[in-house]
Amino acid sequence: MNEHHMRHFLVASAVSILSILSTGMVNAQSLDEVLGVRATTTQDGRKSQVKIDEIADNTRDLLSQYKQVMKVVDGLRVYNKQQERLIAGQETEMTELNASIDNVTVIERQIGPLIERMIDNLDKYIELDTPFLISERRDRIAFLKETLDRPDVSVAEKFSQVLQAYQLENSYGSTIEAYADVIELDGKSRQVDLLKWGRVSLVFQSPDGEVTGVWDNATSSWAILPDEFRGGVRDGIRIARKTQTADLVKLPVPAPGE
């Protein structure tokens, strides 16, 4: 090979080497760029995944809060319905109470005269009845009449006291009592022991047991009993005072009349 050809070969070789080196440099630069893009993409993907995860967590939290709020809302709906029924019932009750209040005014105007009539009727009944515990019963009537005119005592209390007096009078029919008292006998006052046997019989006996008598409703006076009743009256007084055990006693009983 001559010198000219050698130079041409060397030049061509140099060009080829430069071309290869240039291509390698280009390929290396492209690879770095690709790797850089991939790294950037991976990093951006990680950031995006983190954001997605945060959004998912927030969504779950919001969903949980929403469910809790809906439970509270459902509870409030049930509570509101209950309150609506309660309010409706209270409104009905208020209407009834207002009507009752209106009636109370009318009743108060009527109950005063009713109480007064009840006291007067009880007073008449006591005066016509067998005169047992007469002082106590008359004092009770006097108390009721005094209370009737007192402004500091409510109408309800006055009515209650009158009812109690009626109940007490009714209870006398099933009790026996013995007590000391003074009666008018043959125009003279005399200390005796009285025996009330229910409302069946009212008898007396002197403390010495010598005189025994009975109240006669027909004549409204005391009548002397024969000696056959002396033991029965004496035993009845002892039984009433609980100094003798209960037993059969012989007492005078008025015959039923018309």
Identity of the residue numbered 1? M
What does the pLDDT read at residue 78? Answer: 87
Tens digits of residue pLDDT in 132-175: 999 999 999 999 999 998 999 988 899 999 999 999 999 999 99
136 and 155 part of one domain: yes
What is the Cα–Cα distance from 81 to 41, expressed in whole angstroms?
58
Q: Kindly report the average pLDDT of the chain as a whole number.
A: 84
Can you read off the two tokens belonging to residue 138? 């008359």
Residue 74 inside a domain? The answer is no
Tens digits of residue pLDDT in 96-141: 877 777 777 777 778 889 999 999 999 999 999 999 999 999 999 9
Residue 204 inside a domain? The answer is yes
164 and 182 part of one domain: no
Element (DSSP H or E) covering residue 176: strand 176-185
Last-in-domain residue among 171, 190, 212: 171
Domain count along the chain = 2
**Alpha carbon distance, N-terminus to C-terminus of the chain:** 182
180 and 235 part of one domain: yes
191 and 235 part of one domain: yes
Last-in-domain residue among 151, 171, 191: 171
Tens digits of residue pLDDT in 191-243: 999 999 999 999 999 999 999 999 998 888 999 999 999 999 999 999 999 99
161 and 117 part of one domain: yes
Can you read off the two tokens belonging to residue 99? 């009507």
DSSP codes joined into one string, 86-116: HHHHHHHHHHHHHHHHHHHHHHHHHHHHHHH
What is the Cα–Cα distance from 87 to 150, expressed in whole angstroms?
41
Identity of the residue numbered 159? F
Can you read off the two tokens belonging to residue 159? 């009515």
Residue range of the domain that includes 229: 175-240
Residue 140 inside a domain? The answer is yes
Element (DSSP H or E) covering residue 7: helix 3-128
Residue 128 inside a domain? The answer is yes
What does the pLDDT read at residue 47? Answer: 76
Last-in-domain residue among 171, 187, 221: 171
